[in-house]
Amino acid sequence: MKTAHVIGLGRSGIAAARVLARQQWQVTLSDRDAATRHQADALALQAEGITIKLNHSFTPAPGLDLLVVSPGVPWDAPALVAARAQGTETIGEMELAWRSLSHLPWLGITGTNGKTTTTALVAAIFKAAGLQAPACGNIGYAACELALTEPPDWIIAELSSYQIEAAPTLKPTIGLWTTFTADHLSRHKTVENYSRIKASLLANSQIAVINGDDPYLLSKAAAHAPSSHWTCTKGKDAILPLVPDTYIENGWVIHAGEQIVETEALRMVGAHNQQNLLMAVAAARFAGIEASAIAQGVSTFPGVSHRLEHICTWRGVDFINDSKATNYDAAEVGLRSVAGPAILIAGGDPKDGDDTAWVRQIEAKAIAVLLIGAAAEPFADRLKAAAYPHYEVVQTMDRAVARSAEISKQQPVKTVLLSPACASFDQYANFEVRGDDFRQVCTKYLGEM
């Protein structure tokens, strides 16, 4: 019997272990954490014949046939490098899902920003068309979970660079590239390497759709296949000599010369969401979905949690959760999209990147910036250096919301925006937990005032 080791007792690792066990592999699933929250899962998996090792650091052993890693495990971690050196095949959970589900059509969506909204909107359109096409990958299901159920009509996968890097044979029917800016450089080291990984998904896709509004992607147009399809919010003649298949004209999304849906049907603010709409429409049309189903899916789409999500209106001030804005570019877009004057809540686990446009947007729209988490002091120094004086270090979400309410009573504020420009791992398990905390604090604190 062949042996496999799966690293990470999270949702994707559990699904991967179960897929392998069903395929008659001898499976070990390990996690460095020994938390009691794993105990119920561990007992259930052990009953299925899967060996569980908690509080365990993987080291490669002779005779191991396959190593499957969750997305959070660095691809160049010493243990993975050693495993590959001794001849152990090493793949990600997404690659395992592809090997199990490659007989189905896949739609893969990547990009620095915009991919979650685009993925969720694509899934909503496919559902409106009567198709079973649940979102998976970075949102929704773990991809391997779909290999454990009745096969869907399509696999709609949001794919991070981490997942693409560890899925070398993944070849989607349709691939989308939403945006590109410098991110995850602590893992990928250079912008060029990060871009190469993203580009590989499009190169392996039968149909490639690329955002023609993105300056970086447009500058690299010659590097993409001549058969790539482009989108543009500024009309069909805005990116000549490229001619977009999908563009906006007179308030309509046009694809291949056909009016598909009015742009105002999408109930999400921001010009960036118009581009997300174009990407989703292009994907749906290339998948053969009729315009009427696309229009229905778009008009009923509620938006995405933690991305410009309206939490409440208090004394005429909108409180907006943009916790998914985990880098400067996403946070700049978030602040640009809301009504000003705004109070910005920012900070968390800081990332590398160019903050120039973000700081300019703060200067243009923010009446105050409230700083939380590990990035609070560095951000304060950065704003001081930019001669922006209206910042305060408050450290916690509770204090940020309370201080926002105080300022809103004294100054003409239209929006309080949580848009951190940081990862969450200094104070929260992930950006979803951070956004949920913001929602809960707003509900509790503002409801008591």
116 is annotated as contributing to ligand binding: yes
DSSP string, 389-443: --EEEEESHHHHHHHHHHHHHHS---EEEE--SSBSTTTSSSHHHHHHHHHHHHH
115 is annotated as contributing to ligand binding: yes
Which uninterrupted H or E stretch holds 321? strand 317-321
**CA atoms within 13 A of residue 207's CA, in its CB half-sphere:** 17
**CA atoms within 13 A of residue 321's CA, in its CB half-sphere:** 22
Alpha carbon distance 123, 118 (integer Å): 9
- Hey, which residues does 34 pair with through a beta bridge? none
111 is annotated as contributing to ligand binding: yes
347 is annotated as contributing to ligand binding: no
Task: Quickly tell me which residue has 């900070």 as its tokens.
Answer: 347
113 is annotated as contributing to ligand binding: yes
Alpha carbon distance 214, 231 (integer Å): 10
* Peptide linkage before 152 cis (omega within 30 of 0): no
- The Cα-based distances of 187 to 71, 75, 375 in angstroms read 12, 8, 19
The amino acid sitting at 22 is: R
171 is annotated as contributing to ligand binding: no
Binding region:
111-117
Q: Which residues are annotated as a binding site for ATP?
A: 111-117
